[in-house]
């Protein structure tokens, strides 16, 4: 949605405030910039964690949007984000419920796709990694599954060096951390992040294009507080829904998915996350996305059939399919 349209939604001149996983230079930062056309009329506010992106949007009425990573094309779900949505359907106290339907405080209004080009980053231009007994590599935990081959190659290249992965709250935070590490004999601190994070922190890019898979892409969701105003868009629209099945009987999931089939609704993704309902283990919240064809479709009947088969269900939003989905 263009920034001009945003100002129409919010009234001319109101500064739009958008949260992202910071500090500046993260891929989440890139996603926020893409969403708002790099406009300098938007205040991009870094947070220290993905949960903070959601919690602040829910509680601070001055915040308009939040951008969170949802999944990566190489190593799948960003479980931190999935679990935030899951918990807002099944675990939150005082849920706003209408029957089995949960009406969350937030809604999904958009998506962004960011090309992930990881680099190995150091505080010096060409460190001789093999000269160190230990290389401490900092990055966001989601990154390790995107560079596993590269890390194996490093270990093969320097068999006498120990490579240790250290989780950071984000890729750009990882770069900041190596700037603040005190030097220890025989140990070097490096980070894996994007080139922008290296430049913003005046660090050196030691290796580029270290993703296991070329075209590595992370998908982000754009959320706002639910304002009941449906921002209609021309492009194909996608609905994101979470649900749990009433029964554990064989076919209970199929029965729910059959509702989509009988209504001719095209599902484009399905995921699940575990949750514990009381003492029962191995219960799942399902996440489905489907194309929202609203030409004269009787969605009320569709929702009523879901109501009959689901213990909880939650429509998180109907939002435009970003053209980069097809890239
Ligand atoms: O740390 C960042 O730069 C983020 O934006 C987070 C995140 C993620 O959680 O997946 C985003 C894109 C990449 O997959 C790596 C990390």
- Taking the CB of residue 135, how many other CB atoms lie within 10 A of it? 23
For the whole model, what pTM was predicted? 0.93
Residue 200 has pLDDT above 70, yes or no: yes
pLDDT the model gives residue 270: 98
If asked whether residues 221 and 97 sit together in one domain, one would say yes
What's the number of domains the chain is made of?
Answer: 2
Probe residue for ligand 1, chosen from 25, 116, 143 as the CB with the greatest number of ligand atoms within 8 Å = 143
Asked if residues 205 and 117 have their Cβ atoms less than 8 Å apart, the reply is no
* Residue 249: pLDDT band with limits 50, 70, 90: confident
Q: Rounded to 5, what percent of the chain is helix, strand, coil?
A: 30, 35, 35
Residue 327 lies in a domain: no
**Which residues fall within 8 angstroms of residue 314, CB to CB, at 6 or more apart?**
88, 89, 101, 102, 103, 104, 241, 242, 243
Residue 212 lies in a domain: no
If asked whether residues 23 and 108 sit together in one domain, one would say yes
Q: What percent of the chain has pLDDT over 90?
A: 81
Which residue has its alpha carbon closest to ligand 1 atom 11? 27
pLDDT the model gives residue 12: 58
Residue 230 lies in a domain: no
**Mean of all residue pLDDT scores within the chain:** 92
If asked whether residues 7 and 102 sit together in one domain, one would say yes
Which residue has its alpha carbon closest to ligand 1 atom 10? 142
If asked whether residues 88 and 221 sit together in one domain, one would say yes
pLDDT the model gives residue 93: 66
Tens-place pLDDT, residues 298-327: 899 999 999 999 999 999 999 999 999 988
Nearest to 217 by CA among 141, 67, 107, 326: 326
Ligand 1 atom nearest 20 alpha carbon: 5
If asked whether residues 108 and 166 sit together in one domain, one would say no
Cα–ligand 1 centroid distance for 280 (angstroms): 33
* Residue 281: pLDDT band with limits 50, 70, 90: confident
Q: Is the peptide bond before 181 cis (omega within 30 degrees of 0)?
A: no
Residue 11 has pLDDT above 70, yes or no: no
φ, ψ (nearest 5 deg) of residue 219: -100, 135
Residue 17 lies in a domain: yes
Please compute, for residue 196, the number of CA atoms within 13 A of its CA located in the half-sphere on the CB side: 16
Cα–ligand 1 centroid distance for 45 (angstroms): 16
Domain of 148, CATH number, reads: 3.40.190.10
Question: What is residue 53's three-state secondary structure?
Answer: helix
pLDDT the model gives residue 94: 65
If asked whether residues 240 and 96 sit together in one domain, one would say yes
pLDDT the model gives residue 296: 73
Residue 10 has pLDDT above 60, yes or no: no
pLDDT the model gives residue 14: 75
Tens-place pLDDT, residues 33-44: 999 999 999 999
Residue 50 lies in a domain: yes
Residue 135 lies in a domain: yes
If asked whether residues 89 and 131 sit together in one domain, one would say no
pLDDT the model gives residue 195: 98
Structural domain including 87 reads 3-115+217-225+236-321
If asked whether residues 139 and 96 sit together in one domain, one would say no
**Lining residues, ligand 1, CB within 6 Å:** 21, 26-28, 69, 72, 78, 116, 140, 142-143, 170-172, 218
Ligand 1 atom nearest 170 alpha carbon: 1
If asked whether residues 194 and 99 sit together in one domain, one would say no
> How would you classify the pairing of strands 310-320 and 134-139?
unpaired
* Residue 289: pLDDT band with limits 50, 70, 90: very high
Residue 3 has pLDDT above 60, yes or no: no
Angle, helix 79-90 to helix 50-59, in steps of 10 degrees: 40
Interface ipTM: 0.99
If asked whether residues 154 and 81 sit together in one domain, one would say no
Probe residue for ligand 1, chosen from 78, 167, 193, 212 as the CB with the greatest number of ligand atoms within 8 Å = 78
* 30-62: burial string, b at 16+ Cβ within 10 Å, e else: bbbbbbbeeeeebebbbbeebbbbbebbeeeee
Tens-place pLDDT, residues 71-104: 999 999 999 999 999 999 987 766 799 999 999 9
pLDDT the model gives residue 313: 97
What average pLDDT does range 151-174 have in this prediction?
A: 98
In sign, the C-alpha dihedral spanning 324, 11, 57, 87 is negative
What average pLDDT does range 5-12 have in this prediction?
A: 53
Residue 95 lies in a domain: yes
Tens-place pLDDT, residues 101-146: 999 999 999 999 999 999 999 999 999 999 999 999 999 999 999 9
Residue 326 lies in a domain: no
Nearest to 164 by CA among 173, 176, 178: 178
Cα–ligand 1 centroid distance for 52 (angstroms): 15
pLDDT the model gives residue 182: 87
If asked whether residues 7 and 100 sit together in one domain, one would say yes
Residue 231 has pLDDT above 70, yes or no: no
String of DSSP letters for 286-322? EEEEEE---SS--HHHHHHHHHHHEEEEEEEEEEEPP
If asked whether residues 129 and 65 sit together in one domain, one would say no
Residue 190 has pLDDT above 80, yes or no: yes
């Amino acid at each position: 949605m263009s920034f001009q349209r945003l100002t129409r939604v919010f009234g001319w001149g109101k500064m739009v405030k958008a949260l992202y996983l910071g500090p500046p230079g993260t891929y989440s930062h890139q996603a926020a910039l893409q969403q708002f056309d790099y406009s300098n009329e938007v205040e991009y506010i870094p947070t220290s964690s993905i949960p903070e992106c959601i919690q602040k949007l829910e509680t601070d009425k001055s915040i308009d949007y939040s951008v969170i990573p949802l999944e990566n094309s190489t190593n799948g779900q960003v479980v931190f984000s999935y679990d935030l949505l899951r918990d807002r359907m099944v675990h939150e106290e005082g849920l706003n419920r209408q029957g089995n339907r949960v009406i969350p405080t937030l809604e999904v209004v958009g998506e962004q796709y960011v090309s992930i080009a990881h680099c190995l980053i150091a505080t010096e231009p060409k460190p001789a990694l093999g000269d160190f007994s230990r290389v401490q590599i900092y990055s966001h935990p989601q990154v390790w599954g995107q560079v596993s081959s590269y890390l194996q190659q490093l270990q093969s290249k320097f068999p006498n060096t120990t490579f240790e992965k250290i989780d950071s709250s984000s890729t750009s935070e990882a770069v900041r951390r190596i700037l603040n590490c005190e030097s220890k004999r025989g140990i070097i601190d490096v980070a894996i992040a994007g080139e922008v994070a290296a430049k913003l922190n005046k660090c050196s890019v030691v290796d580029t294009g270290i993703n296991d898979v070329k075209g590595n892409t992370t998908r982000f969701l754009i959320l706002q507080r639910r304002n009941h105003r449906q921002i209609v868009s021309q492009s194909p629209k996608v609905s994101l829904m979470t649900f749990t099945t009433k029964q554990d009987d064989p076919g209970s999931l199929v029965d729910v998915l059959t509702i989509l089939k009988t209504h001719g609704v095209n599902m484009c993704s399905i995921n699940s996350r575990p949750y514990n309902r009381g003492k029962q283990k191995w219960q799942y919240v399902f996440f489905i996305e489907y194309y929202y064809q609203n030409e004269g479709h009787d969605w009320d009947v569709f929702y009523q059939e879901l109501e009959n088969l689901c213990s909880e269900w939650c429509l998180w939003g109907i939002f435009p399919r970003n053209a980069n989905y097809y890239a």
